[in-house]
Amino acid sequence: MKLSARNRIKGKVVEVKKGAVAAQVRVDIGGGTVVTSMVTVDAVEDLGVREGGEVSVVIKSTDVMLAE
């Protein structure tokens, strides 16, 4: 699948925390950077996301802010 979202970075899952509906997943993308994602619990289970597993983070360009 090719996606319009411009940003996709591979990483390793370092934490999965599940609530009733929302889940927080933290992904180490290398270089000392850990990215935090909040998705549905359904998505975590459907993708089989688990600590130590490989996953990519995907981000639309309109969702990337800039800071100085």
Which residues form the interface with a copy of itself (CB under 8 A)? 1-9, 17-25, 27, 29-31, 33, 35-40, 42-44, 46-49, 54-68
- CB 32 to a copy of itself: min, Å: 10
Q: Report the nearest approach of a copy of itself to the CB of residue 15 (Å).
A: 10
Q: What is the dihedral of CA 32, 38, 44, 49, to 10 degrees?
A: 0
Burial 20-31 (b: 16+ CB within 10 A, else e): eeebebbbeeee
Q: Smallest distance from the beta carbon of 28 to a copy of itself, in angstroms?
A: 12
